[in-house]
Amino acid sequence: MKQTTVGVIGAGRIGRMHTENLVHHIPEATVKAVASPHLDQDWAEGLGIPIRSIDNSVVLGDPEIEAVVITAPSGLHCELIHQAAAAGKHVFCEKPLAFEPGAIEDVLQAADRAGIILQVGFNRRSDPSLLDLVETVREGRVGDVHTVRVTNRDPKAPPIDFVKRSGGIFLDFLIHDFDTIRYLSGSEIVEVYATGGVLIDPEIGAAGDIDTAMVTVRLANGALAVIDASRQAVYGYDQRFEVFGSGGSVAVNNTTPSMSVVSTTAGVVGRTPHDGFVSRYRDAFIAELRGFLAAVRGDAPVVAGAGDALAAVRAAVAARESFNQNRPIRLVEVPVAAGGGTRA
Amino acid sequence: MRTITVGVLGAGRIGRLHADNLLRMPGVRVKSIADPYADFGAWPPEHIETGLDPSLVLDDPEIEAVLICSPTPTHAPFTEAAAAAGKHIFCEKPIDLDPDRIRRTLEVVDAAGVKLQVGFNRRFDPTFSRVRQAVVDGDVGDIHIVKITSRDPEAPPVEYVESSGGIFLDMTIHDFDMVRYLTGSEVEEVHAMGAVLINPAIGEAGDVDTAVTTLKMASGALAVIENSRQAVYGYDQRVEVFGSKGSAEAGNETANRVTLSAGDGIRSDTPLYFFLERYQASFVAELEAFFASVRDDRDPPVGGRDGLMSVLIGLAAAQSMAENRPVRVEAL
């Protein structure tokens, strides 16, 4: 198989994870360069990455690099995509591409003009269980879709510093759920109603965000969906999905790192779910990058494109407005005009 | 244990179910059953008096407690008549669909000083009681989220839908009570989104067959109820209470615990198909609790106020869906 030469921009937690996956688990990729302002040189050297820098131009200016993995902070995503597109490099970018629909519309158009592949990091679309679920729905085994349910609970509330620059729970956290609903239902979100509260940490409220949210969604095909989300489930990363329809239902429950069950007089105790997204979606993170590389080679369609990113962000913005105004918001109320963003 | 003499009003499906349960219950003696429309036939056993006129029960001084299992529009007048006759009352839900009518009835009951229990049987289901116990024991900590899945196995006939009061007052009303029971908190605000996805005739009758209702509780907790009039695989009844210390979750009950593993999948039997099967134990337990309250002169575990609150929430949900906005529940 043809190898694709890849550069990575941003080596924070998720950047390091993607880089390690590329090096250890994805033989069709060669990581030539990694750039990050606080780069851990030892880590990068240990992975055998030849070019290691705090300067992004070593990635963007290298003609040999065909594809860029952007895992820089969210606020830099759009500008980096524009630069990569201008350099003719294919882009895999972590979510969210931007907090404003207009900025995403801009990068979508730039990617189209440059003729590059642009994939967004909606990792759940590459999870084996969710792939199975969606195939079951597409095969018609649950009939017409009536309701979609997503439970999304993190094991531990993030630090307040993160909350402050996260874009808020709807854009940072539920963004995955909006994409999942579109993915599982095969339909578009037309209306959302969001409610929520600060039930875990008052500091999150003081930072202007909420930590517990519930969103009801109406889809274009008539189906309904509901998301319940929490920033902290003490028992672990709670990720459950269900599609219910005229022919039955299909569900994905939590996976656990160990399947052991201890039965004693005190009760029957199984292991808790994974302790976070890195372990829960380990296979999905590898598969999404392999999917991206397949799209770069022209072997497969993009798993999640800028259009998907735009749709999810519009739903998230609508949910945020719904929560702020305490009324249902139709997505047509969320402007999409290009140029409305914060292009530097 | 002191034996309580009981009369039953209404010998339809639920009346017969309750009466049959009472026939096997220690400390209770069923004296008479009245129903103007019943064809009693071989049921009930001969020693029980039957008649068409409710006065058979209501005017019998020996009868201490009455079960009201007649059609909904008769609940309020029968409750008032029974209270006036000094009889304790177990009434099927809803007491009425009009909150003002319920309030008037509750005033009559209060003035008479009799016990009134409303038939929210699910509170007495061993599984859901265990979830509530986990909440009471503090196992889930402060409640953040309550999730209820409530799907019927088969959509009712359209004629039934037309006279049901709508999905929120007919079906979701049980779930509203369950949210109040599990959280021990009151509902402050309701938002409901509905759709007609199962049977267009239900839509033509002015109702929906699929609904997602979110509730804001006084405690700050959030709740969501997902309803469907038809789950082809059976009666889907699940609850989850999630909080600061963890979650308590109740799955569906099946007739057996067998797993069949084959080349094409791992299979277990579908959930119990019908509410009479799924909630069998709860129907017995709710009556045992009612008679214990009468015997021990205690307040029944589910009172008239609970009956009123669930109707108020149901009306708020219906209004929310009609007006497409969240609606605050009318203060009691």
Distance CA B2, CA A260 (A): 51
ipTM of this predicted structure: 0.89
3-state secondary structure (DSSP) of residue A302: coil
CA dihedral angle for residue B183, residue B187, residue B189, residue B190, rounded to 10 degrees: 80
User: Hey, is the C-beta of A244 within 8 angstroms of any chain B C-beta?
Assistant: yes
DSSP B51-66: ESSTHHHHT-TT--EE
DSSP A115-166: T--EEE--GGGG-HHHHHHHHHHHTTTT-SEEEEEEEEE-SSPPPHHHHHHT
How does the average pLDDT of chain A come out, rounded?
A: 95
Distance CA B17, CA A101 (A): 58
* Inter-residue contact A89 to A62 (CB < 8 Å): no
Residue ranges of domains in chain A, CATH in brackets:
4-122+285-304 (3.40.50.720), 125-277+309-332 (3.30.360.10)
Yes or no, beta carbons of B144 and A146 under 8 Å apart: no
pLDDT band at A338 (very low <50, low <70, confident <90, very high): low
Query: Which chain B residues have a beta carbon less than 8 Å from that of A269?
Result: none
Output b/e per residue, B222-260; b: 16+ Cβ within 10 A: bbbbbbbbbbbbbbbbbbbbbbbebbbebebbeeeeeee
Yes or no, beta carbons of A146 and B142 under 8 Å apart: no
Six-digit token pair at A31? 């990581």
Strand spans (E) along chain B: 4-9, 28-34, 49-51, 65-68, 88-91, 116-118, 143-151, 187-195, 210-217, 222-228, 236-243, 246-250, 259-262, 265-268, 327-328
Residue A248 has pLDDT above 70, yes or no: yes
How many Cβ contacts (< 8 angstroms) between chains A and B? 107
DSSP H stretches of helix in A235-329: 277-280, 282-296, 306-325
For residue A342, give the nearest of A118, A158, A102 by alpha carbon.
A102
In the predicted model, what is the mean pLDDT of residues B153-160? 94
User: Hey, is the C-beta of B124 within 8 angstroms of any chain A C-beta?
Assistant: no
Nearest CA-CA distance, residue B288 and chain A, Å: 29
Interface mutation target, options B193, B217, B236, B245, chain A, most CBs of A under 10 Å: B193
Residue of B nearest to A228 (CA): B145
End-to-end CA distance of chain B: 37
Six-digit token pair at B90? 């177990």
Strand partners, B121: none
Q: What's the predicted TM-score (pTM) here?
A: 0.93
* Inter-residue contact B242 to A230 (CB < 8 Å): yes
Express each pLDDT in A130-183 by its tens digit.
999 999 999 999 999 999 999 999 999 999 999 999 999 999 999 999 999 999
Residue A339 has pLDDT above 80, yes or no: no
Distance CA B92, CA B77 (A): 13
Distance CA B196, CA A126 (A): 32
Express each pLDDT in B46-102 by its tens digit.
999 999 999 999 999 999 999 999 999 999 999 999 999 999 999 999 999 999 999
Strand partners, B240: B147, B249
Yes or no, beta carbons of B232 and A230 under 8 Å apart: no
Residue A337 has pLDDT above 70, yes or no: no
Residue ranges of domains in chain B, CATH in brackets:
4-114 (3.40.50.720), 123-278+310-328 (3.30.360.10)
Distance CA A8, CA A28 (A): 15
Yes or no, beta carbons of A228 and B246 under 8 Å apart: no
